[in-house]
């Protein structure tokens, strides 16, 4: 109180008004996408309130807490307390959004499983880069299911239990069908009458022309990632 600098018109000292001013300053700094300048805050405080006083009070209030009010460049910002960085900066990798291509491949695998890579490419009409399938395998959503009993014995892909968990599905049959995709507006009415959305085959069932995949197959195909990273 002693070192208060008094602006024109005198300083408000009414605690209720000061509290209100502090609330405003607090909310402004919190919601802002960058440090907020002192002037910007001052313009929004009740007339006659000393902005610096309010901010210093706030700074003191937050000093011992998990979040601190700090002065950055020309403005004010909230930052988590430096000593708590160990909780915030965890070992987690940053969550990445799945790319459009990966989403497409994943959805084809989900609906058309068991499906071979050639079939995926046929449905998409473009070549699928190796990386896309790798990403989906790495995410733990896609797995090798078996091998098709056709020349070349191509590997078939399917989805995993983690896939169902992540997308909140109880079973594959819960994937919306043609009518439901239309009903939800995801498919427009302008589709040919012979258009079909397949009913995916359950995870554990093997298709008639499908053999289960074996460890040997995986090794033979060179599909095992270095370091024996396969989970099951």
Partner 1 sequence: MPGPGSKSQKNGRGADAPMEDLWQEGGEERGLSEESLVVDLAGFEGPLDLLLHLARTQKVDLTRISVLALAEQYLAFIDKARKIRIELAADYLVMAAWLAYLKSRLLIPKQAKDDGPTGEEMAASLAFRLKRLEAMRDAATRLVNRNRLGRDVFARGMPEHIPTERRSAFEASLYDLLNAYASLRQRHAITQVTIEKRNVWSLSDAREILSLLVGGFADDDWTALDHFMLRYLTDPAERTTAIASAFAATLELVREGRLELRQDGVFQPIYLRRGPKTEGDDEEGTKNG
Q: Which does 17 bind (CB under 5 to 8 A by kind): partner 1, a copy of itself, none?
A: none
Candidate residues 152, 226, 229, 232; the one interacting with partner 1 per rule CB under 8 A = 226
The answer to whether residues 23 and 49 touch, using CB atoms and an 8 Å cutoff, is no
Cβ 216 to a copy of itself shortest distance, Å = 22
Nearest approach in angstroms of CB 42 to a copy of itself is: 12
**For a copy of itself, the closer CB: 15 or 208:** 15
192 makes contact with partner 1 (CB under 8 A): yes
Q: Are strands 75-80 and 36-37 parallel, antiparallel or unpaired?
A: antiparallel
**31 class by beta-carbon count within 10 Å (0-12 exposed, 13-18 middle, 19+ buried):** exposed
Task: Pick one of 5, 90, 130, 231: the residue that binds partner 1 (CB under 8 A).
Answer: 90
Query: How far is the CA of 38 from the CAs of 10, 26, 71, 213, in angstroms?
Result: 19, 12, 10, 66
Main-chain phi, psi angles of 61, to 5 degrees: -60, -40
Q: Tell me, rounded to whole angstroms, the distance of Cα 29 from its chain centroid.
A: 26
Find out whether the peptide bond into 114 is cis, omega within 30 degrees of 0: yes
Nearer Cβ to partner 1 (48/218): 218
Of 76 and 210, CB closest to a copy of itself: 76
Strand runs labelled E in 101-176: 115-116, 142-148, 155-159
- Residues 127 to 146: which contact partner 1 by CB under 8 A? 135, 137-141, 143-144
Residues that bind a copy of itself (CB under 8 A): 19, 22-28, 30-31, 44, 64-67, 78, 80-81, 84, 87-88, 117, 128, 130-135, 137, 143-147, 153-155, 168-170, 173-174, 176, 179-180, 182-186, 188-189, 230-232
């Amino acid at each position: 109180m002693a070192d208060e600098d008094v602006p024109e018109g005198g300083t408000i000292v009414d605690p209720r008004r000061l509290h209100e001013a502090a609330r405003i300053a607090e909310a402004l700094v919190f919601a802002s996408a960058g440090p907020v300048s002192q002037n910007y805050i001052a313009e929004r405080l009740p007339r006659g309130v000393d902005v610096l006083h309010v901010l210093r009070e706030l700074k003191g209030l937050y000093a011992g807490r998990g979040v601190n009010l700090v002065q950055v460049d020309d403005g004010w910002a909230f930052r988590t307390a430096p000593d708590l960085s160990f909780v915030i900066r965890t070992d987690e990798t940053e969550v990445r959004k799945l790319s459009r291509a990966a989403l497409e491949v994943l959805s084809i695998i989900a609906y058309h499983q068991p499906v071979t890579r050639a079939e995926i490419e046929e449905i998409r009409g473009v070549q699928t880069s190796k990386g896309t399938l790798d990403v989906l395998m790495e995410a733990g959503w896609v797995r090798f299911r078996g091998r098709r009993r056709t020349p070349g014995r191509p590997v078939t892909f399917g989805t995993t239990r983690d896939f169902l968990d992540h997308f909140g599905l109880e079973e594959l049959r819960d994937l919306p069908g043609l009518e439901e995709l239309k009903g939800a507006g995801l498919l427009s009415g302008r589709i040919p009458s012979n258009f079909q959305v397949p009913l995916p085959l359950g995870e554990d069932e093997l298709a008639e022309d499908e053999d289960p995949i074996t460890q040997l197959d995986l090794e033979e195909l060179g599909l095992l990632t270095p370091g024996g990273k396969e989970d099951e």
